[in-house]
Amino acid sequence: MKLLVCNGSPRGRTSNTDILLKPFLEGFEEDSQNTHETVYLNSEDGRKQAITSFVQAELILIGFPLYTDAMPGIVKEFIEALVPVKKELKQFRIMFLIHSGFSEGSHTKYIVRYLDKLSRRLGGTYLGTIRTGGTEGIKVQPAFMTQKLLTQLKIMGRLLAQTGKIDETLINKIVQRERFWKIELFFSEIMSEYMFWNPWLKKNGAFEKRFDKPLI
Ligand SMILES: Cc1cc2nc3c(=O)[nH]c(=O)nc-3n(C[C@H](O)[C@H](O)[C@H](O)COP(=O)(O)O)c2cc1C
């Protein structure tokens, strides 16, 4: 099997999306008959190449981070550019890997319905969406914090190669929880107050303006 991988992160080759895709592809290519081509959507040329490859592909994975509760603009641009070539597409199977800076699965949950519908509207067979959270720090986190997720992604790639499907049970394990427990929320509020958001907002003179609604 040949897998077309579309990396939809504006950071391209230095993205967290690439870090998550790597073990998945390792698992997929344990069977030496499997190969992949990665295209990066973060340039005009990359998107053009992606359209050409998409038209010929039978198995596709689109990976992207959550940007403002949805996909980055380059991914949307790419999706819109697929519409005019819809009739040229082969019978393809498609899956997604989406991830968010925030940890709770609830951030990526609602985009899944869109991706399912999009796949069908393009005439493809939707295999599923792998989603995970808390990925902004993945590059700097010690191995013991990321190992479990990266291993699960490798298994996911291996299972795709063996069954042609995305494993639902594993998807749910990777998401962990849609919402934090109350105790976790309590600690994250303390951390925001003293370590992250609020000190940053204060430093930039934006704390008092944090509930402003400039577009209203
Ligand atoms: C402009 C911008 C908007 C973002 N919006 C969200 C968001 O709405 N929700 C979220 O959980 N993370 C958000 N993030 C965090 C990214 O999803 C996260 O940092 C991710 O790991 C980036 O992956 P990448 O390196 O593959 O681009 C945003 C990041 C940026 C730069």
Summarize pLDDT for 75-129 with one digit per residue, the tens: 999 999 999 999 999 999 999 999 999 999 999 999 999 999 999 999 999 999 9
Give distance in angstroms: CA of 157 to centre of ligand 1: 24
End-to-end CA distance of the chain: 51
Query: Burial of 132 by CB count in 10 Å (0-12 exposed, 13-18 middle, 19+ buried)?
Result: buried
Euclidean distance between CA atoms 175 and 103, whole angstroms = 9
Nearest atom in ligand 1 to the alpha carbon of residue 68 is 8
Nearest atom in ligand 1 to the alpha carbon of residue 138 is 21
Give distance in angstroms: CA of 71 to centre of ligand 1: 9
pLDDT in tens, 158-181: 999 999 999 999 999 999 789 999
DSSP secondary structure code for residue 124 in this structure: P
**Mean of the per-residue pLDDT values of the chain:** 96
Q: What domains sit in the chain, N to C, each tagged with a CATH number?
A: 2-179 (3.40.50.360), 181-216 (no CATH)
Nearest atom in ligand 1 to the alpha carbon of residue 17 is 26
Euclidean distance between CA atoms 138 and 115, whole angstroms = 25
For the chain, the residue count is 216
Nearest atom in ligand 1 to the alpha carbon of residue 10 is 27
* Residue 199 pLDDT greater than 90, yes or no: yes
Confidence category of residue 27, pLDDT binned at 50, 70, 90:
very high
Helix segments in 29-175, DSSP class H: 44-56, 73-82, 106-109, 111-121, 143-163, 168-175
Predicted confidence at residue 215, as pLDDT, reads 87
Confidence category of residue 142, pLDDT binned at 50, 70, 90:
very high
Give distance in angstroms: CA of 187 to centre of ligand 1: 22
* Residue 197 pLDDT greater than 90, yes or no: no
Q: What separation in angstroms does the CA of 96 have from each of 52, 111, 207?
A: 19, 11, 36
Euclidean distance between CA atoms 206 and 195, whole angstroms = 16
- Ligand 1: list residues with CB < 6 Å: 9, 11, 15-17, 65-69, 99-102, 107, 135-136
